[in-house]
Amino acid sequence: MAKITPEQKELAKNQLEEYRASVKYDTKDYPVELIVEKFKKGDFFVPDYQRAYIWKQKDRSYFIESVLLGLPIPFMFWGELEDGKMEIVDGVQRINTLSCFVSNELRLNGLEKLTSLNNFQFSDLGTAQQLRFKNKTLRIIVLDAGTTNALRQDIFSRVNRSGRMANASEFRRGTYPGSLTDFIDSCQKKPEFKDICPLSNEKYLRHEGFELILRFFAFTNNYLEFQHDVAPFLDNFLVENQESFDHTAYENEFSNMCIFVKKHFPNGFAKEGIKQVPRVRFEAIAVGVALALRENPDLSVANIEWLNSDEFERLTTTDASNNPGRLKKRVEYVRDALLRGNP
């Protein structure tokens, strides 16, 4: 490897100082009411490089719910213009959503926390709630008017390229701390689980194992109660059982399932020659095995040829994977196949 010369270090230092000096900004807090008012008046300019208004109804409702809950909202980036107006470098989706809601052009739906506000428009809120919403301040990074268009576009590109939303598992681990969360977290680190459930390093670091194991416990215990939407189903299971689950029973059932899969399934949860494990395939095998072991703790099988059948393939495709009927069929298919194959 080539050694960095003193000249290269000096060049790097000068380049860093040059670029840092070109980024001048101020941090300001604006209330929602002022943001919406100025946006409607056209005091906030949406540049050509900004994305079109692409948020779906669920995204918009989720954002408004976050504001209503008083949760921290990520910074927005604006840029001062010579005529005194503001260019929206990053944040047009959020500002447009705020404007639509305050103008009664958005009806909330699919809320997971404030479920009583589903189907509400802004005018349906009480007076005090409306005022609190309008007075909620959002933090804005305001770039100096001298910031070049090229630098503004670069900031927009970097913010949207590098920003990565927490996935469902990362969100649950941080939002619902407690005994069950800690237990599931420990399960995904067990060597016996890793051996039969290969995950890429990225998926492991982003807690795909936590997601799979939570699904295992939730569906093994409550799959007949599943009603299509996975996210709230898993959230509710985690919250309701956080401190009341039977640690010994859960640990034994998980361990016995892993031992059985390792003994009877040569490729674990994966297909032969494929290292990744689709969630629907994991659910079918893991939950099906656990259900079979509940009926016959001494279960042993002669073969698993059905694993390569067209029927199992059909039941474990992603199409309609969140359909409650499909979930029931695939886990019971595995359960029944194992029980029938008991020598």
- Cβ atoms of residues 158 and 77 within 8 Å: no
CB 226 within 8 A of CB 233: yes
Same domain, 288 and 334: yes
Q: Give the integer Cα–Cα distance in Å for 74 and 276.
A: 33
Same domain (yes/no): 191, 336: yes
Same domain, 75 and 93: yes
Same domain? For 201 and 329 the reply is yes
**What tens digit of pLDDT does each residue of 90-132 get?**
788 888 999 999 999 999 998 888 899 999 999 999 999 999 9
Whether 232 is covered by a domain: the verdict is yes
Indicate if 174 and 309 belong to the same structural domain: yes
Tell me what pLDDT residue 272 has.
80
- Taking 60 as the threshold, does the pLDDT of residue 327 lie above it? yes
Helices and strands per DSSP (H, E), number in the chain: 16, 5
Contact 79, 87 (CB under 8 A): yes
The answer to the question of residue 6 being in a domain is: no
Q: Are residues 214 and 264 in the same domain?
A: yes
What confidence tier does 84 reach under pLDDT thresholds 50, 70, 90? confident
Note whether 229 and 104 are same-domain residues.
no
The CA-CA-CA angle for residues 294, 266, 336, to 5°, reads 35
Domain membership of residue 7 (yes or no) is: no
Q: Are strands 137-143 and 25-31 parallel, antiparallel or unpaired?
A: antiparallel
Q: What are phi and psi of 66, to 5 degrees?
A: -60, -40
Tell me the per-residue pLDDT of 145-199, one tens digit each, with 9 for 90 and over: 666 666 666 665 565 554 455 567 776 776 677 899 999 999 999 999 999 998 8
Q: What are phi and psi for residue 102, nearest 5 degrees?
A: -65, -30
Structure tokens at 151: 């630098």
Residue 19 lies in a domain: no
Q: How far apart are CA 102 and CA 106, in angstroms?
A: 8
Select from 128, 143, 162 the last residue of a domain.
162
> Which pLDDT does position 106 carry in this prediction?
94
Q: How far apart (Å, rounded) are the C-alpha atoms in residues 335 and 291? A: 6
- pLDDT score recorded for residue 173: 73
Global model pTM greater than 0.75? no
204-246 per-position pLDDT tens digit: 877 899 999 999 999 999 999 988 778 888 988 998 999 999 9
Instruction: Choose the final residue of a domain: 106, 135, 162.
Output: 162
Q: In this model, does residue 269 exceed pLDDT 50? A: yes
Of the candidates 138, 124, 127, 113, the residue with the CA atom closest to the CA atom of residue 61: 113
Which tokens go with 288? 């099906």
User: Which of these, 99, 76, 82, 113, lies nearest to 232 by C-alpha position?
Assistant: 113
Domain boundary among 162, 183, 200: 162
For residues 275 and 333, membership in a common domain is answered with yes
**What is the total count of domains within the chain?**
2
Query: Does residue 172 lie in a domain region?
Result: yes
11 within some domain: no
Together in a domain, 147 and 258: no
Judge whether 2 lies within some domain: no
Q: Is residue 5 part of a domain?
A: no
Place of tokens 């990362």: 170
If asked whether residues 271 and 192 sit together in one domain, one would say yes
Q: Tell me the CA distances in angstroms from 295 to 92, 250, 335, 339, one per residue in order.
A: 56, 16, 9, 8
**Do 139 and 172 lie in a common domain?**
no
Domain extent for 185: 168-340
Name residue 151's amino acid: L
Residues 188, 156: one domain? Answer: no
Q: Could you give the CA distance from residue 153 to residue 172 in angstroms, rounded to a whole number?
A: 34
Q: Per residue in 277-317, pLDDT tens?
A: 889 999 999 999 999 999 999 998 888 889 889 999 888 88
